[in-house]
Amino acid sequence: MKKTCLLFLCVLLISGTLVGCASNESAKIAPLTEEELEYFNGDDFFNGEPINIRNQFLSSLYSTPENINLFELFYCGSGLEEALTETELAAVIAYNGWEQTPDCGCTKISRANMDAVLTEYMGLTLADTEKIGLENFTYLEEYDAYYFYHGDTNYRGMATLFSSGEREGNTIRLFYSDQFMADGDKVLTLKAQGTGYLFVSNQKSDDNLPESSEPTTSATGTVLVNVDYATDELLSEYDSFDEFTEFEDEGYQKIIFTTNIVVKDFRFIEVGYKEENTNIVFFENKVSYSLDELSPEKPLVVTWMEQGSIPHRGISFIDENNTTRYFYVAMSGEDGSLFLVEFL
């Protein structure tokens, strides 16, 4: 009997060890495959609908589901059907003490639909959240719904593409440079559940980006083009540099573009933008200054002025694969550092 018990115990220990090994193995970090990344960059999970509520989960920063900004999330509605009556609209106007109806549309989000969205995509209800941003809506208790008059749209068109991703157990992290907000590199964290995903967090990723996605660098194969402030200390590292002066007014700054290898047809460009199907599309508006090549030994210094959140200046060049690449200059809203974001 003792031998049988001892043998049974050994089997349990061995089984436990094997199961433990398998569990540890499954928790290792592995990069997403091209097919997996394409799923998130395509129209299956994000995009694909006139208003895809999943896109809106990238509209604010949050470290946990509880502290997501509900105003940004539901700015364009819940994506679910809502019945909005003239009686409700009159009640919203009366509640706010307005003398006349605003010259714009009104969005309604019922608490039931808020709960439905939050439960499906975060595993909680409105009552479980910190209710961040909710005060920006008008709440009518008799209808148990939230209302917001606005003529614009903060719909998060996915001009942004995820540059890479990784899986750790049932956790998926998607890395991207936020072209929509133009405020730097971020990581979106999802948790696989059943056949879908829960949104866990959307955070700045300065310390979490893969080496190929440094926040101030555009990486194209072996080419690394960098933008930074042209401090006296940095300029002293070079024997010479090309210089272009565009702004002479007060408030301008000098910035410097450097590269690790020679790139051809380097251009400092004016960047324009337009809206296409609720997406913001950037394009080269005109060339402000050009060089036959930019080399590691001789960088380019230009004057630059920050002009709000929409990018207005950028660069283009021909890389080592003979491909023309386009980037705009953006400033981090967190520390004021500069970085390049690829477009086109």
Q: What is the pLDDT of residues 259-270, one digit of tens each?
A: 888 999 999 999
* 43 pLDDT above the threshold of 70: yes
pLDDT at 159: 53
Q: Which of 261, 327, 323 is nearest to 293 (CA)?
A: 261
What the block records as the tokens of 117 is: 């969205």
Q: What is the pTM of this model?
A: 0.56
pLDDT at 213: 37
* 143 pLDDT above the threshold of 50: yes
pLDDT at 221: 42
Tell me, rounded to whole angstroms, the distance of Cα 153 from its chain centroid.
Answer: 17
pLDDT at 155: 75
Q: How confident is the model at residue 160 (pLDDT cuts 50, 70, 90)?
A: low
**Which DSSP symbol is given to 298?**
B
- State the pairing for strand pair 300-304/242-244: parallel
Q: How confident is the model at residue 320 (pLDDT cuts 50, 70, 90)?
A: confident
Average of per-residue pLDDT values in the chain:
83
Domain ranges of the chain: 29-44+158-204, 53-150, 214-343
* 153 pLDDT above the threshold of 90: no
Please indicate whether residue 206 or residue 300 has the higher confidence score (pLDDT): 300
pLDDT at 174: 95
Give the type of residue at 278.
Answer: T
Q: What is the pLDDT of residues 211-261, one digit of tens each?
A: 433 334 444 445 678 899 999 999 999 999 999 998 776 668 899 999 888
- The top-level CATH class assigned to 214-343 is mainly beta
* 332 pLDDT above the threshold of 70: no
* 27 pLDDT above the threshold of 80: no
Burial class (CB in 10 A: 0-12, 13-18, 19+), 292: exposed
Given a contact cutoff of 8 angstroms between Cβ atoms, the answer to whether 82 and 110 are in contact is: yes
Kindly report which listed range (77-81, 91-95, 309-313, 324-328) carries the lowest average pLDDT score: 309-313
Please indicate whether residue 282 or residue 58 has the higher confidence score (pLDDT): 58
